[in-house]
Structure formats: C-alpha cells, structure tokens
Structure 1
Amino acid sequence: MISWRRPSWGVAAVFCLLLVYLFDVGRARVGMYGGERGEKEVGRRDLAEDVKNGTLGFQEIFVVNLPKRTDRKDAMTLAAAYTEIKLSWIYGLPGDQIPDVTLPLSQNQTPPSPASKGSWRAHLNAIQAVVEKDLGSALVMEDDVDWDLRLKDQLFNFSLATRTLIQPLVPNLENINSKSPQYADPSFPTPKPGQEPTDIDLPSRPLTIPPASSPYGDDWDILWLGHCGMSTPPPGTTTHPLGRIFYPDPSVPDIPSVDVSGGTWDLTTFYPPHTRLVHHAYSPVCSLVYAVSQRGARTILYELSIRNFTSAYDNMLRELCDGEDMREGKLVCLSVQPALWTHWRERGRRGKESDISGVKGWRERGESRNVRWSVRGNLGRLVRGVGGEGGWWDQWPD
C-alpha cells in the first residue's frame, strides 16, 4: 500500500501556519486512542466536540422498534441513559400488516416476505422523519445493538478520520495553484484506473479545512457505523475512493479476538493489533446502525420507497453505496472496522434474538462481536454503581 508522506517543512511550514490563521482553521489532535487530547482553536470552536453531546454530533437519534418488543426498548433505554445518549423512537409494523401495494415493485416481481417488508417500512419511517423534520443529519439504530462504554471517544476519532478523507486540504505551497480542491486521499472523489489504496496514519494526518455542517465532514450521505461485515475497496477499483485512515485504539480486541467475518481480512492482515480502520463503505452487510445526511435521506426515500424495491433493506442501502446498476446514482458512504455497534445476543432463550428467524436453544452468556467494554454486558455493574476503568467486564481481554 502507498503510505501518506507529509510535505517538507521549512518555508512551506511557515506558509501553512499563516494560511491556517487566515482560513480560521483549528486542528483537533487525535483523542485518547492516538495521542494527545486537546484542541487548539483559531477563531472558532471545532465541531468535533459535538460528537460528545447527547445525540453524538447528529441532530437526532432514531431507534427502530416493534411496539411488542418492550424488552428491547427497556434495555436500550437503560443503556442509553448510562452512556448519556438521547433516543427518539420509531415504531414499525408487523410485515403482514403492510400492503404490497405500498412497495415499488416491478411488473412481475414477487412480493417480499413479511419480515422483509416489516424491516423495510420501519427503517423508511425513520428516513421519512429525517426528511419531514428537515434534519441536517440523524442516526438510525436497530433496537438490539450494543456499544462500548467509550463510544464518544471512539466517535471523536472517527470524526477526525472521516473529515480527513472528505474535507479539502488546507492550501499550501504544493497545491495553492490547483484549480480544484485537493484531498489527503488522491482517489477522492473519483479514483483513476489502476490507483492503489492510500494509508493515512490518523495522528499524522494533514491539515484539512474544518467542516461547517457536521463534525464528520460536509460531503457524506451515509456513515455505516454498525454492520455484520464490511470490505475495503479493492485496489484498482474505479467505483470507490481508496483512502484508508488507521489509528491505534485499545477498545479494539486483539487480532485473535477480532471478528471480521462477512468482510475482508485486511484489518487483521495488514495492520497492527488494536487498530481501527476508516474507509469508504464497500459491500456492507446489515444495517444495524447508520447515519444519514438530509441529502442522503432524500435519496434513500426516493430510491427505496418510490422508485425501486429490489431486496432486503440493507442490501438496497448497499446498492446505493456501491452505485449498482439498479440505482440512479451513488451515495458517499463511509464506514469503520471493527464496527462501533454490533448485535447484542443476550443470555436466555435464543428465540428472543430475532423476530424474523425462529432461532431455538439457550444462550448461557450474553455477548457481542468486537465490543470490549460492552454497555449491555455491564448494565448490572452500572445499575449497582460498581465498575470503573479497572472493573468493567471486558468481553475480549488480551
């Protein structure tokens, strides 16, 4: 892989510092997982700090829930309260109550299963709310997910990574005469044939112009944050930008415990242990948790509710992110490995795990993939007021 090389210093460094001041730019240093915390502001507050608010830097967080699953709503409400997250609820309908006439099916297309219809409509109810409320961005979550107690710190670093990929570079002596914006990822927004991936170490990232609309950057449609598997765009592809941001993160399990099934093995093959990787989404599986911009929400509502129903909801999102032929356009979709949200499989009867498949049996211990300090697994400690940094249950210790 091609590594990012920082520009030479000297005169260029002095010129860059002057431009930083003139462009009113503050640079956020990588957080607790990559070095020194603390932002130096120049003239205005950086939006990166909004990641730590109750809606994680989005305008609203929607949780998709079937009203009959009060158990899931109870657990999510408690987990959100202990991690200081504010939730709004979107209620779905059983699929057998959704008329086939509401789906944009083709002439001879067989209607989908009730389970597929139910998932599709519940998620589109959330997307509809984003458009109707004219929200700049929103996070959509399914009601059976788990996350790390350090989520806000994880998202802080994720936001620095996404803006490094999609925000223009601050002009310097090397690109000051360019007629178009320059990016740290030379394949963004459109890769050239034969380009190789560019690896950028987050603690050494170049200066980018700070975003004005979202802490995650100004030019994204979907942030795919919770999934069952994700691939990195392959070298030479002309459909996806190839840049990859990597950084050390102790909340990532050691390589033997990292589960990357459903995606590619690049994370555990080419990068050191305890590494988090951010890149453009490619062949994602499962839509557990994702953020949408207003632009992205309008496209999703048009494509999936009005224009063309092709498959399960997560597959249709993938079609938009991958720019497949059945879609009129391609969205800007960014993702992270390992995922920041994953399914929580609780202790007890396995039939509780899914409203779609009739799973049987008994699970002796609750668990989730790739989440070390699980908020769901530590709820008992949180309720009792015990735990702390040395006392949280670590699902995947070194």
Structure 2
Amino acid sequence: MAAMITPGSPVRLVPGTRRRSLNLAILFLVILALLWSLLFHGNIGHGRNVKPDEIRDPFDAIANNTLGFEKIFAISPVQRLDRRDAIVLASSATGFHVDFIDGFVLEEDSAKGLNESKKGVEAFTASRPHANAVQRIVAAGIASALILEDDIDWDINIKMQLKGLALGAQQIPRINSPESNATTDSPYGDSWDVLWIGHCGIKCDGSSPIQLMPHDITAMPSRYLPPYSYDPPAGTGNNVRMACMIEKAACSAAYAITYRASQKILAASTRLTDDDNMDFPDLLSGLCHNGSLECYSSYPSLVGRWKGGRKEYSSDNDQQVVNSPMSHSSGVMYSTLGNIEHILDGECAVRATIDDAIVPELIPDLFEVPHSFLQWTDKRGGHERAL
C-alpha cells in the first residue's frame, strides 16, 4: 500500500519544473567533469599544454606589413622624390610598409678627410647610407630588418617567393646540423644572419645543401637576366629557382640582416681605412665568405631594377624635351611597377615582362609556393628530400 503523506510529514514533493532543472544541472556537471578528465589525461599524454601559437602556420608572418621582419628600410636621397614615390607605390600595392633612410650625393670637393680620389668619394657616397641603416638597427635594438635600395622593382608575388626562401632557410641548416630542432618565432628560422634577396650574382657554399624549385614560373629565364658578377650555380636554368647558403654575392639591392649581424657589420666597417676603398656589398660579402655571417640567397635574384622615365630639358629652353626614356623593369618576371596601372585599376591578372613567358598573364591570387626539394651530398653519397 502506498505511503500516506500527512500534514507535518518531513517528505516534500518537488515540483516538476524544479526537478527538470535539477536534472539538467546534474547532467551539465557530469559533462563538464568528463571534458576536464579528457583534457587532463590528454595533457599528461603530451607532456605539456598545447598553446594556440603552436598550431599556427609559421610562415604567416611573411604576409604582414614588414614581410616577417621587424622593419623595412629603403635608402633614398631626399632629392629623388620620384624614386621614393615609386617605392611607396609599389610597397602599398604588395602590402608592406617602408621607412626611409636618407641617402646623399657628396660633392667631390667637400670630401675632406675621406679620400680625395673620385673613386673614394663615390664609394663613400654609395656605402655610407648602408652603414647608417646598420647603425640604426644596432642603436634601436631591431631584431631584423630588410634594407632596400631605391631603384629596385620586385615581383607582385614577392610574399610567396619569400615563403619559398623561408622554407629553405629553415631546412638547409637542419641538414648541416640534424640535432637542431629548435622552434623559432621567425618564419625564416634562427640560423640566418643575412638573407641576400637582391643581388647581381651569388656563389653558393659548396658544402651547403641546395633547395631547388624546378618549375617556378616567376624565375626569370637565364637569357633575360641582367649581367651577373658570378657564373650561375650548377643546376639552374630556365624557370628553375635555387636557394643556398652563399659564400659570396655582388650588389646590395636588397638584403635582410639580424641584430647580431648588424653588430658584426658595424664592427667590421669601423676597422676600414680610407685606403681600403671597399664598398658595402664587398664588406658584406667578405663577412659571408670568411664565416663571420651565415648568409642565404635565392637565384635568380628576387629583386630586380627599375628604370623610371624622367623628362630632361635643354639648358637654353626649359620647354624643349631632350630625352624622355621609357620606364622599364629588369630581372623580375611579374613586375610590380610595370603592372601598377593594372593593379590600381583592379584587374585580376598581371602581365609578364617578357614576351615568351610560360604564363604571359598571371592571377597572383592563384599563385602558390612552387614544389621544392633539397639536394645534398655527404660521406654516404647524394641525397634528395622533398619539402
């Protein structure tokens, strides 16, 4: 027989709505306990907590407005407003920001105490702004900076090209030192001192692995490259791009340096005398060659030259045009400045700078980092590994 509930009985009925709420609360606590248990045991199994940064693509920083470096500087005389305009326009079109460092033109008769020869004056005029940029990096404690000259042009796909170089700059040192597996905050790794991305010739370190991209449509065919100071590295050719550790390079159109490298460069420059007549690219190349700096580069150069058309007038009649050269780019396949009107008009495709390009018109949004692989030789023979 069912128990009787009389007035004053300690037994109370729980209303239906309250009972359902109580059941839901208990269920929620059970689920929460299960989730906590799974996370707890998962963390024990992995030995540490998983941080959000660890699952982020390490190359994403290259897409930022400093291309994965802390700063970007362009060396340009204040008188060359046309070149500054071009640098600002091209960098805005490709999504990065440039700060200027003043270059200058030094009159020969004002070069007192330097070296009164014309060669000495020219070397000082060309090299001192680079030294000023290095000095600024050291003084401000800048972790890394990309330094550009002001008469350059680059491919509209520069960020993807830099991702390809970053892949090699990270992996090549690991072949040389297999025990090195340290993580890094830099998309280019922690091993490099110099990334020489704008040059007129390089010589690869013969003991270094090389990174090959055999089907890079942005690599300018050899017959269209401007004169280089060194022979092409073995294995390069039409639409083949290579990256390697270098022992020599020529020209300083564009290069990235770390804080540590900047200190070494500044120290080396203070030891130069007026009789040395060494320009900045030679100084930097010498530090790569003697092992003071670990230097990497891409062949062909990722940066080319831009020749802007400037109207010149006769001295006796300011309205008579003597020469009006055409603007043109050299050394890059899909020139940013050469395509600037198309870019500003919102067109999807850009044009190649040569008539017989494999892809005469390219939609940059569809371009990805080309397939690449490493090649190296050791005591056991030759090796190859896909990246």
Asked if TM exceeds 0.5, the reply is: yes
After superposition, the C-alpha distances for 1:303-349 in whole angstroms (9 at most, x for unaligned) are 113555631111111111111xxxxx621111110111121123456
Evaluate the alpha carbon distance shift between residue 209 and residue 66 of structure 1 in structure 2; reply closer, same or farther with a 3 A threshold.
same
CA distance in 2, matches of 1:144, 1:381: 21
CA distance in 2, matches of 1:271, 1:123: 30
Evaluate the alpha carbon distance shift between residue 138 and residue 167 of structure 1 in structure 2; reply closer, same or farther with a 3 A threshold.
farther
Per the normalisation by structure 1, the TM-score is 0.67
Q: Please give the secondary structure, in 2, of the residue aligned with 1:95.
A: coil
CA distance in 1, matches of 2:211, 2:49: 25
Aligned match of 2:63: 52
Aligned match of 1:6: none
Aligned match of 2:164: 157
CA distance in 1, matches of 2:47, 2:353: 48
Aligned match of 2:337: 376
Per the normalisation by structure 2, the TM-score is 0.69
Evaluate the alpha carbon distance shift between residue 303 and residue 150 of structure 1 in structure 2; reply closer, same or farther with a 3 A threshold.
same
- Which amino acid is 1:299 matched to? K
Evaluate the alpha carbon distance shift between residue 24 and residue 348 of structure 1 in structure 2; reply closer, same or farther with a 3 A threshold.
farther
Pairwise CA distance, 1:150: 0.6
Give ranges in structure 1 of 5+ residues lacking alignment. Answer: 1-20, 27-40, 170-180, 184-207, 236-240, 324-328, 352-359
Residue 211 of structure 2 corresponds to residue 245 of structure 1: yes
Pairwise CA distance, 1:52: 1.1
Aligned match of 2:42: none
CA distance in 2, matches of 1:380, 1:129: 35
Residue 367 of structure 2 corresponds to residue 395 of structure 1: no
Find the partner of 1:340 among 302, 305, 314.
302
Question: More helix per residue: 1 or 2?
Answer: 2
Pairwise CA distance, 1:135: 1.0
**Highest CA radius of gyration, 1 or 2?**
2
- Which amino acid is 2:300 matched to? P
Question: More strand per residue: 1 or 2?
Answer: 2
Find the partner of 2:251 among 286, 300, 304.
286
After superposition, the C-alpha distances for 1:219-272 in whole angstroms (9 at most, x for unaligned) are 221111101111223x4xxxxx422111232211345435563222335xx246
> How many aligned positions are there?
299
1:290-309 aligned at under 5 Å gives the runs: 290-308=255-273
Residue 198 of structure 2 corresponds to residue 231 of structure 1: no
Give ranges in structure 2 of 5+ residues lacking alignment. Answer: 1-45, 314-321, 359-387
Q: Does the aligned pair in 2 maintain the 1:58–1:139 contact within 8 Å?
A: yes
1:123-138 aligned at under 5 Å gives the runs: 123-138=130-145
Evaluate the alpha carbon distance shift between residue 165 and residue 308 of structure 1 in structure 2; reply closer, same or farther with a 3 A threshold.
farther
Pairwise CA distance, 1:51: 1.1
- Which amino acid is 2:186 matched to? S
1:79-158 aligned at under 5 Å gives the runs: 79-96=90-107, 101=113, 112-158=119-165
Question: Which stretch of the first structure deviates more once superposed, 374-383 or 44-53?
Answer: 44-53
- Which amino acid is 2:77 matched to? L
CA distance in 1, matches of 2:185, 2:112: 38
Find the partner of 1:220 among 192, 206, 218.
192
Residue 240 of structure 2 corresponds to residue 275 of structure 1: yes
